[in-house]
Amino acid sequence: MAETARAVALAPGADLTGFRAAVRALVAEDVTPERVAWSEGAACDLFGSAPPAESAPLRLPRAVADLVPMVVPHRDPERYALLYRLIWRVRAGERHLTEVPSDPLVHRLNLMRKAIGRDLHKMHAFLRFRRSEEAGVERFTAWFEPDHHILEAAAPFFVERFRALRWTILTPDASAHWDGATLRLGPPGRREDLPPGDGFEAGWRGYYESTFNPARTNLKAMRAEMPKKYWRNMPETLAIPALVRGAEAGTRAMIERSPSVPARRDPARAVAAMADQDPTSLEELNAIIRRSEPLVPGATQAVLGEGPVGATIAFVGEQPGDQEDRQGRPFVGPAGQLLSRAMAEAGIDRGASYLTNAVKHFKFEERGKRRIHQKPTAGEVSHYRWWLDRELEFVAPRLVVALGATAVLALTGKAVPITRARGPFQFERHHNRFVGFITVHPSYLLRLPDEAKAEAYGAFVGDLRRVAELERELAG
């Protein structure tokens, strides 16, 4: 007799809450992926009209827990079925399945995750607000057409960036509204609901025209970085045709002008100006970091530390990577996933630890469509040191783990060979107010040849076990 299929109807769009509830119920009843028929309806209708009993939360590897919210917004109707299949296999014993990129299921889910990351990046970069006024109250409204159901995931970025403004973002699937205190999601919007163009748009267009470099005009690259589907919602694109037509003449004019030495930006003065703000809490410090110009080239956003104030252990890495820059969180890329795995094996709770980087912005070099990590210079590490010092003051850990040479340089002020100093270490620059420990950065393990990885990973886990022992000694 064929097994009875279970019908699960989730709300349209990115129903992360409904999916989690459904997965808990399905796992509790031991329902295999083959027996589940996923669909999107007006509301969650799990197992017919009767709602399931409340189920206990699932304990999943961090890599799986992080992957789920990055796939649920995808428009592929099979996304829920694929995610449940992944969760089922992980719970069946394939704990490190996400670390096998050649697996067909993992490969497909990773493609979805990357698509969502690109879509979020485009929304952060290409959304434009228009100003209006109603009953003397200023409001800003924007229209955007994302490829996927990302509005709920993207909205917190705009809350942080425009916290003091009242704004609305309209999309064909849903809308987001911020009144200065509360974020509310609403029904789909229409482009016709946008207010007419205003002086703010004209000012943005003027800024774009003034910064346009005719000598670097590359239509193919422009279309790759700014897809044409977004053009009609961006005021600066109205100026592009005329700017392109005049590029050749503009280039000749630039060549004919007498050369001049550009004014150099002084990072030390910029850092001094930040320090003058004298933050009194980690939240105030993070607000300064968010609105400060990156002190290394590139970067979409500042990637702040993550974890509780008062954490016993703080881990300090080098700088955010590509995925960290896109998601705005530390240690979520391949190296971060490896670190999470090693911490779990060593008995260290990542959620109870504080994770940050010596440099808060992603420094990279573009090669085609790839963004290749570039190591920060000693000067750049020095420019960011003020942020790290204040950050550690506010978190007040008892034990600080330096992951790699850049973190050691930031904490000691001098270059220290990792192989010689690996293990407990006194960070005298910080007056030894916390216990120090030095080990390799997890990205180092990823670069090793396959035959050397297992031994190096074992040594890394061994280091973290020593860290866990130190934590217990400090707690005792």
Q: What is the pLDDT of residue 347?
A: 95
- Residue-range definition of the domain harbouring residue 73: 6-121
Q: Does residue 400 contact residue 434 with C-beta atoms inside 8 Å? A: yes
What's 312's domain CATH number? 3.40.470.10
Q: What is the pLDDT of residues 90-104, one digit of tens each?
A: 999 998 999 999 999
Please report the pLDDT score of residue 194 as a whole number: 85
The two structure tokens encoding residue 189 = 């919007």
Which of the listed residues 121, 149, 165 is the one where a domain comes to its end?
Answer: 121
pLDDT of residue 222: 52
DSSP string over 51-96:
PPPP-PPP---HHHHHHHHHHTTS--TTHHHHHHHHHHHHHTT-TT
Report whether pLDDT(239) > 90.
Answer: no
Same domain, 271 and 366: yes
Q: Averaged over 353-377, what is the pLDDT? A: 89
Is residue 117 in a domain?
yes
- Please indicate, yes or no, whether residues 238 and 156 belong to a single structural domain of this protein: no
225 pLDDT higher than 90: no
In a domain, 260, yes or no: no
In this prediction, residues 208-236 reach a mean pLDDT of 56
Q: For position 291, what pLDDT does the model report? A: 81
Task: Name the least confident of 156-160, 314-318, 362-366, 430-434.
Answer: 430-434
283's CB contacts (< 8 A; 6+ apart) are none
Give the pLDDT score at 303. 93
Residue scoring higher pLDDT (150 or 450): 150
Same domain flag for 55 and 107? yes
The average pLDDT across 454-473 equals 95
Query: For 128, phi and psi rounded to 5 degrees?
Result: -130, 130
Indicate if 35 and 116 belong to the same structural domain.
yes
Q: Is residue 388 part of a domain?
A: yes
Cα distance between residue 144 and residue 97, in whole Å: 36
Same domain, 67 and 149: no
What is the rounded CA–CA span in Å between residue 372 and residue 285?
Answer: 29
Exposure string for 21-58, b = 16+ CB within 10 A, e = fewer: bbbbbbbeeebebeebebeeeeebbbeeeeebeebeee
User: pLDDT over 90 for what percent of the chain?
Assistant: 55
Please give the Cα distance from 220 to 427 (Å, whole number).
50
Structural domains in the chain (count): 4
- Quick check: is 98 in a domain? yes
Shared-domain flag, residues 271 and 345: yes
Instruction: Give me the numbers of helices (H) and strands (E) for the chain, helices first please.
Output: 18, 15
For residues 216 and 295, state if they share a domain.
no
Q: Please indicate, yes or no, whether residues 272 and 210 belong to a single structural domain of this protein.
A: no
Amino acid 269: pLDDT: 66
Do 423 and 294 fall within a single domain? yes
The CA distance from 173 to 158, in Å, is 18
pLDDT digits over 173-206, tens only?
Answer: 999 999 989 999 999 999 888 887 655 555 545 5
Question: What pLDDT is attached to residue 273?
Answer: 64
In a shared domain, residues 356 and 208: no
Task: Decide if 398 is inside a domain.
Answer: yes
* Distance of alpha carbon 144 from alpha carbon 122, whole angstroms: 10
Q: Look at residue 261 in the predicted model and tell me its pLDDT.
A: 47
pLDDT in tens, 138-147: 888 999 999 9
Whether residue 387 sits in one domain with residue 282: yes
Please report whether residue 238 resides in a domain. yes
* pLDDT (0 to 100) of residue 252: 55
Whether 228 has a pLDDT exceeding 90, the answer reads: no
| 435: DSSP letter | E
Is 50 exceeded by the pLDDT of residue 43? no
Rounded mean pLDDT, 451-474: 94
Q: Where a domain ends, among 193, 211, 227?
A: 193
Instruction: Among 121, 141, 172, give the residue marking a domain's end.
Output: 121
In a domain, 226, yes or no: yes
The angle formed by the CA atoms of residues 416, 420 and 422, to the nearest 5 degrees, is 85
262 within a domain of the structure (yes/no) = no
For the chain, what is the mean pLDDT?
84
- Region 259-272: mean pLDDT is 57
Is the predicted pLDDT of residue 49 greater than 50, yes or no? Answer: no
Say if residue 273 is in the same domain as residue 248: no
